[in-house]
Structure 1
Amino acid sequence: MNWTERVFKLQEHGTTVRTEVVAGLTTFLTMAYIIFVNPSILGDAGMPKDSVFVATCLIAALGTMIMAFYANYPIALAPGMGLNAYFAYVVVLHMGFTWQAALGAVFVSGCLFLLVTIFKLRELIIRGIPHSLRYAITVGIGLFLALIALKSAGIVAPSKATYVTLGDLHTPQAVLAVLGFFLIVVLDRLKVPGAILIGIVAVTIASFFFAGNEFRGIFSAPPSIAPTFLQLDIKAALAGGILNVILVFFLVELFDATGTLMGVAKRAGLLVPGKMDRLNKSLLADSAAIFAGSLLGTSSTTAYVESAAGVQAGGRTGLTALTVAVLFLACLFIAPLAGVVPAYATAPALFFVACLMLRELTELDWNETTEVVPAAVTALAMPFTYSIANGLAFGFITYAVLKLFTGQVRQVHWMVWVIGGVFLFKFIWLPGG
């Protein structure tokens, strides 16, 4: 028995080294944007961009490696989109806290997150999620992915009158994204291995000829992490005014990460009796990554919904995650090459995965409105509020209210009432709730 089989149990999961590596490459290419976007966003909060770049690569590699070896899950971790924007534009620029204090808030929320996981409270929360909402999480993440993909491709654009509208389909970026999408679907239907990765690579190569993409070299020495390493201010984070910030970080981390983990794990067929122990380990892995990231100098780390692209490419074990982790480490030295894949090249892959994730709608009992309506609210709220956590919040509250007023209280797990109450508290009492 070779090392990969002994550690990752590939045969048991019906996969191979090649499939897992291709899946890891696919996941990495769909989320590599974070190593450039995260420094840009946190840089707006006054943080040194070069150091944030290093911190982003390191925590993505570290967190994903823990996921690989400890949980054996094909899910990658990195600083979360949305959480970094809240960190920079709300906590620092709007509320006036220093970025050091904001890092301290991330650290404290990460510690709370870890305690909740260690004491199995997260496991209780997961067990208390109704089946209809579980299906809705997968569908909602699919819709969320679709919006991100269409936005990245330039097919969806902002509009003052209607919020969103059709983008300019005459741009090379939009045309290449559409062609890439059709290529992926056709190759997948023909059962060509690595269809998603082939689509991404094809669009990237075409971008050099038709979209003005430029080759920026291959190697560069990694910048210093010293300006952000251990610069968090925990004392300031425990001050009265920032306690609300800690709670918001905690709630968003809890439900964004849990929702993503459940959605992607279900897509991979891993949420079955006898394999739940791996899910529990994955929850601990992403919990540990949050406060580790705050020590390195970045906002909250979370499970990445883009991992669904790797799962669709066949990833089923931690070898997929290990591949992602190694590639993030490599980015420390080949940053110019890592940035050559444009967002519109990964957009077709995300949109394809999003389409497939909508199949979970067929699992719902459409004759029971107290189950279907909360599920629909959950799924629709995720893309329309640009937040997985908000979708979960609205779904839980809707589920609890409808069951309460239709005399079905006894059918509802007690955890639903607790979660719904916490979200109501957040929306009513917390600023920006």
Structure 2
Amino acid sequence: MNSTIGNRSIFERVFHLSERGTTLRTELIAGATTFLSCVSIMVLNPTILAAAGMDQKAVFWATALSSCIGCLWIGLWGNFPFALGPAMGLNSYMAYTVVQGMGLSWQNGLACVFTSGCVFMLLSAFKTQQHIVDAVPDCVKKAIGAGVGMFIAFCGFQSAGLIQKSDSTLVTVGDLSNPGTVLALAGIAITAVLVIRQVKGGILIGILLVTVLGLFVKDPVTGAAYTTLPTSVFSFDNPAEALAPTLGQLSYRGMFSGPLPFVLGTIFAIVSFLFVDLFDSLGVFLGIAPKAGLVDEDGKTPGAGKALFVSAGAAAVGAVLGTSTVTIYGAESAAGIAAGGRTGLTACSTGLLFLLTLFFSPVFLMIPSIAAAPALIMVGIFMMEPLSTLDLSDFSVAMPAFFAVAAMPFTYNIAYGELFSMLSYTLCMAVTGRRKQLSPTMLILTAVFLMYLILDAIF
């Protein structure tokens, strides 16, 4: 009994559970919810980076270890309930654009990621990130949150099979007779009922229930069940041998030699990794911090610089281990926050579960994407709330809000939604005679965003 009390006092001292209005049980459930929402990265990241010529098993290990380190770092140092892991999109950028398109080696690609992470950390030394977070106007912050919600929901609709690509209309409704889509719809309904009834861990229960039901529902394309029982529960390799193909293999050899367009392309690749990591981290942080109650009375987020520093550091660590950019997860972190996560204990429990994948990978990898879809859609619904407090009759508020909410899912890029939202806000302030409301930091951000657009257009 004394031991239990002692353990609780340790959790209280480190994570301030009662101050944040949460409990040990709630935090652990939230951590498990977050983990189950992002465990698919353990399959997707090695598969994508294999296209760049990287060893899949080594990338699997690098993914688990870098995610674990990032989650523990942000949980213990920043006390934030955020998960970190290799960013979907940036892994594809590295494999298909940087390596296959530009002709750099995957070792060079990791060097680009490492450099961008170090520059990101350098910016943090001057507290640049905290200034950025504090300088973003309230209407843009709230719009970014709603935009992230729309992006998350869009991902959920895709995973559920509720939407699919179309040659004529880009996207259209999916096959509603598909058994997987029907199962996902059932999961959405069940999860919604659990949330409405305020059942603790409702989102987690929804994920697990769909996973179990997936054992009895077959994919008409493959003929196999959506959830497949693993042949073994336990699996573990020698760490030194498993990581050897990628650990410390990043290299700058040949990156800055050759024709000028090649060198400029390499520099732009580094800048792209930096900007997307910075914008994504900032956008996700601004979007989900309010849902976790991490915003003060002035609308500022204390400690934002710590969170963004960890995101930068985790990117550098991931590159050394052998994976593309590690960053703060938006949809997955929001799922844990929706389940009640409020402190770094949520992040730490998520990180330890990432570590467990190295021992029980067959079990964790059996969770189908349709099981996470209902959770993502529920989170998207939750994150629409901030829009209700905006005066959308004011065009200077409505325009940046619209661009944030529309551009993120339409471009499939959180960074572009944030970019267009802030640029439109600056434009509105300039033409309505409210230029004095633009802080020096906001003006610098505007210049940086414009430069990014120009570089993106040129290259």
TM-score by length of structure 2 reads 0.92
Residue 101 of structure 2 corresponds to residue 126 of structure 1: no
Quick check: 1:257 aligned with 2:281? yes
Q: How far did residue 187 of structure 1 move?
A: 1.1
CA contact (8 A) 1:73 1:318 kept: yes
Letter in 1 for 2:384: L
* One-letter amino acid matched to 2:288: V
The aligned residue for residue 367 of structure 2 is 341
Q: Which runs of 5+ in 1 are unaligned?
A: none
Structure 1 residue identity aligned to 2:317: A
SS at match of 1:22: helix
Report the Cα distance in structure 1 between the residues aligned to 2:255 and 2:71, rounded to whole angstroms.
27
- Distance verdict in 2 for CA 1:348–1:105, change over 3 Å: same
C-alpha spacing 1:429/1:276, structure 2 compared with 1 (3 Å): closer
Give the letter aligned to residue 229 of structure 2: F
- Higher mean C-alpha displacement, 381-390 vs 268-277: 268-277
SS at match of 1:164: strand
Quote the Cα distance in structure 1 between the aligned partners of 2:434 and 2:303. 33
> In structure 1, what is the Cα distance between the partners aligned to 2:255 and 2:335?
36
Aligned to 2:221: none
- The aligned runs of 1:152-163 (5 Å cut-off) are 152-163=159-170
The answer to whether 1:370 aligns with 2:392 is no
Q: Secondary structure at the match of 1:13?
A: coil
2:237 alignment counterpart = 222
- What do the CA deviations read for 1:187-238 (whole angstroms, capped 9, x no partner)? 1111211100111111000000123121113111236010000000134445
Match of 2:175 among 165, 168, 172: 168
**Paired residue type of 1:218:** V
Tell me which residue corresponds to 1:7: 14
Determine what percentage of the aligned residue pairs are the same residue: 41
Structure 2 CA distance for aligned equivalents of residues 54 and 220 of structure 1:
12
Aligned-pair CA distance for 1:251: 0.5
CA distance in 2, matches of 1:222, 1:410: 60
Alignment partners' CA distance in 2, 1:57 and 1:238: 31
Q: Which moved more, 1:423-432 or 1:394-403?
A: 423-432
- The answer as to 2:297 corresponding to 1:304 is no
Instruction: Summarize deviations over 1:236-286 as a string: whole Å, max 9, x none.
Output: 445533111111111101010111122111111111159844333222221
Which sits farther off after the overlay, 397-406 or 57-66?
Answer: 397-406
Q: Please show how residues 384-423 of structure 1 align to structure 2 within 5 Å.
A: 384-423=410-449
Tell me, yes or no, if structure 1 residue 383 matches structure 2 residue 390: no
Q: 1:103 to 1:431 in 2, by over 3 A?
A: farther
The whole-number CA distance in structure 2 between the counterparts of 1:14 and 1:30 is: 23
- Alignment partner of 1:231 out of 240, 249, 259: 249
1:284 — aligned with what?
Answer: 309
Secondary structure of 1:210 counterpart: coil
- Report the alpha carbon displacement of residue 158 of structure 1 after superposing the two structures with TM: 0.7
Encode CA deviations 1:352-397: one digit per residue, 9 max, x unaligned.
Answer: 1101111111121122211221121122101110111111111122
For the Cα contact (< 8 Å) 1:230–1:297, is it kept in 2? Answer: yes
Contact 2:63 2:85 in 1 (8 A): yes
Structure 2 residue 345 is matched with structure 1 residue 327: no
Instruction: Find the aligned partners of 1:427 and 1:59 in 2 and give their Cα distance.
Output: 30
CA contact (8 A) 1:176 1:203 kept: yes
**1:184 aligns to what?**
191
Instruction: Please give the alpha-carbon distance, in whole angstroms, between the structure 2 residues aligned to 1:118 and 1:313.
Output: 33
Distance, in Å, in 2 between the alignment partners of 1:381 and 1:151 is 17
Distance 1:109 1:309 in 2: 28
Kindly provide the CA deviation profile for residues 332-367 of structure 1, in whole angstroms up to 9, marking residues without a partner as x.
111111111100001001101101111111121122
> Relative to 1, partners in 2 of residues 1:397 and 1:276: Cα closer, same or farther, differing over 3 Å?
closer
Aligned-partner residue type, residue 112 of structure 1 = V
Counterpart for residue 94 of structure 1 = 101
Aligned residue type for 1:58: L
Q: Secondary structure at the match of 1:329?
A: helix
SS at match of 1:134: helix
Amino acid at match of 1:422: V
Q: 2:318 — aligned with what?
A: 293
Extract unaligned runs of 5+ from structure 2: 1-5, 219-224, 258-262
Contact kept, 8 Å, 1:73 with 1:316, in 2: the verdict is yes
Identify which range, 212-221 or 10-19, moves more after superposition: 212-221
Whole-angstrom CA distance in 2 between matches of 1:269 and 1:65 = 20
* Alignment partners' CA distance in 2, 1:24 and 1:318: 9
- Secondary structure in structure 1 of the residue aligned to 2:165: strand
Taking the aligned partners of 1:76 and 1:234, their CA distance within structure 2 comes to 30
User: What's the secondary structure of 1:11's corresponding residue?
Assistant: coil
Structure 2 Cα separation of the partners of residues 320 and 4 of structure 1: 11
**C-alpha RMSD of the superposition:** 1.5
CA contact (8 A) 1:107 1:234 kept: no
Aligned to 1:31: 38
Please give the alpha-carbon distance, in whole angstroms, between the structure 2 residues aligned to 1:77 and 1:236: 31
